[in-house]
Amino acid sequence: MLHDNVKKLFEENLWYIATIGDEPNVVPVGFKRVCDDGRLAIGAILLDTTLENIRRNGRVAVACADALTGEAYQIKGRAELVHEGEAYEHYKKLTEETFKGEMQLRCAVMITPERLINASPNEHNKEEISL
């Protein structure tokens, strides 16, 4: 499980998801949340390269930072693409409400954290934090 301060930071700030395929790929994501079980959920509307890379190897890194305080973390883990269930239905509804049929949800990306790393610009930078 994520510590409360880490969860709060991820809930309140933009995320960047990184994947690797033929070359590195990183994109910001706005349809995102921390689930009660500690997994991260993303609603994928575009994300073509990200989704292809996840299909290839399932490896992701998600970074988040508070621009005002500099507090930042990186989560590395495994991702799976889901087309049903609570997260999928949540993002399907959000996509419909937000884009009024102009865009469609492709899937939900469920990320299981394996490592949490401090990315803040301080003496704890690069320290791994237990999950």
State yes or no: pLDDT of 1 exceeds 90: no
The whole-angstrom separation of Cα 131 and Cα 122 is: 20
Question: Are residues 24 and 71 in contact, defined by beta-carbon separation less than 8 angstroms?
Answer: no
Q: In 10 A of CB 99, how many CB atoms?
A: 12
- Mind listing the pLDDT tens digit for each residue in 71-107? 999 999 999 999 999 999 999 999 999 999 999 999 9
- Mind listing the pLDDT tens digit for each residue in 18-60? 999 999 999 999 999 999 999 999 999 999 999 999 999 999 9
- Whole-model pTM? 0.94
